Amino acid sequence: MMKEHASSSRDPGMEALAALRLGLLRVHDRLLRTLPGQRAAHRRLPGEVMLEVTDRCNLACRFCFNQQYVQRRGVQQELDTDAIRGVLQGLAASGLRVVRFTGGEPLLRGDIVTLMRHARELGFAVWLNTNGTLLDDRLARRLAGLVNNILIPLNGADADADGRACGNDGDHFRRKLRGVRMLLEQGAPRVRLGTVATGPNIAALGRLHQLVVSLGVHDWELFRVVPQDPDHQPTSHQDVAQLGRALWAIRRETGLRYFIANAIPFCAWDPERLAPLALGAVADDGHSRFVIDSAGRARPMYYIDTDLGSILDGGLPAVWHHPFMRRMRALGQVPQACRGCPYLRRCKGGSRLAARLATGSPRGLDPLARPEVVRAIASSGRRAG
């Protein structure tokens, strides 16, 4: 994959630049892998809080858990600038260090730069999830100076695929890539791309990777498709195996280590091969962070609708120590079959939402989990974990 990329018909100067960029990416990969939540999962504070500053979005991605959640709940009145400033001040006073602006599409808010600047003044590391399509030169320059870490979804290897995934005419794709380049040119400290591992994206993984490398971003992450519908399991065991093989092939050929960043049972494929590719459920389901919605109500994750109360009432401690969150962090929702598994610390039994959808209970088995595979490895005397 990378060989194809490196041997394209560019001039030697460009190739030397590409080699340098690849070297830098490798260093980045080793130094900067950790999500804030992974360092803080067991502390008295969450690693980060995600602020959904709007429900509105200019795209309509078919797989988007957030839009589906908003459709179920209905669009609500957004907190205004002063109210969000107040939320930020309360979070800062509680000792939180990382705040992520997300949505909906946060760049639809006219006051987004004001809000992020306020967050920086309060001492936060500012993270941003944006689809990147609304960036222009001026905004990219301002964001590059304010935001520590930006995650932009890459939903297709070309305009057609992106358009099919996100219901647009393909021009969004061009604008997104332009936005990514502008952020990098302006010196944004860390720009990541994230790809939801739908069937078409897994099939196009090599091309997606070439695009990622050619853009020169700092990192790329893969996400298991979080399911929404009890009757439809969007990711199969074959998909996981295909994704795992493709990621291992990239590692072998380029030395670049990319990860599946959200909850996936390590036993969905050969766990000894999947565990090194997966960050586990550490950043999901309320284990190390939570979401505040556009009206100030907290919930464990984008797609889990358990109401943890309004941040305007009890502040961060009331949300973080809510019985649901304590139970989740104590692994009280993990199924019996996962107890004693050597992968449990990171895997956490996969996705509790997927388990609930498939079995009716959050303590059920994630439909991709096959704990018998782990047991078979253990009883065969092979090392697991």
Ligand X SMILES: C[S@@+](CC[C@H](N)C(=O)[O-])C[C@H]1O[C@@H](n2cnc3c(N)ncnc32)[C@H](O)[C@@H]1O
Nearer to ligand X, 301 or 384 (CB): 301
Nearer to ligand X, 54 or 254 (CB): 54
Nearer to ligand SF4, 103 or 271 (CB): 271
Picked from ligand X, ligand SF4, none, the partner binding residue 64 (CB below 5 to 8 A depending on kind) is ligand X
Residues that bind ligand SF4 (CB under 6 A): 265-267, 271, 338, 341, 343-344, 347, 349-350, 366, 369, 371, 374
Nearest distance, CB of residue 339 and ligand SF4, angstroms: 8
Polymer length of the chain: 385
Residues that bind ligand X (CB under 6 A): 57, 63-66, 102-103, 105, 129-131, 151, 153, 194, 196, 223, 225-226, 302
Nearest distance, CB of residue 155 and ligand X, angstroms: 7
**Runs of H (alpha helix) within the chain:** 2-6, 12-31, 36-40, 65-73, 81-93, 112-121, 137-146, 159-166, 171-185, 199-203, 205-215, 237-254, 271-274, 311-320, 323-329, 344-347, 352-359, 371-379
Residue 4 amino acid letter: E
Picked from ligand SF4, ligand X, none, the partner binding residue 374 (CB below 5 to 8 A depending on kind) is ligand SF4
Nearer to ligand SF4, 300 or 350 (CB): 350
Picked from ligand SF4, ligand X, none, the partner binding residue 196 (CB below 5 to 8 A depending on kind) is ligand X
Could you give the C-alpha distances from 180 to 41, 308, 318, in angstroms and in order?
A: 30, 35, 37
The encoded tokens of residue 6 equal 């490196």
Residue 136 amino acid letter: D
């358009």: which residue's tokens?
163
Nearest distance, CB of residue 266 and ligand SF4, angstroms: 4
The encoded tokens of residue 331 equal 């692994």
Picked from ligand SF4, ligand X, none, the partner binding residue 265 (CB below 5 to 8 A depending on kind) is ligand SF4
Whole-angstrom Cα distance, residue 350 to residue 268?
9
Picked from ligand X, ligand SF4, none, the partner binding residue 208 (CB below 5 to 8 A depending on kind) is none
Nearest distance, CB of residue 44 and ligand X, angstroms: 27
Q: Are 246 and 202 in contact (CB under 8 A)?
A: yes
Nearer to ligand X, 43 or 174 (CB): 174
Whole-angstrom Cα distance, residue 68 to residue 106?
17
Picked from ligand X, ligand SF4, none, the partner binding residue 350 (CB below 5 to 8 A depending on kind) is ligand SF4
Picked from ligand X, ligand SF4, none, the partner binding residue 309 (CB below 5 to 8 A depending on kind) is none
Question: What would you report as the CA-atom Rg of the chain, rounded to the nearest whole angstrom?
Answer: 20
Segment (H or E) for 191: strand 191-196
Nearest distance, CB of residue 345 and ligand SF4, angstroms: 9
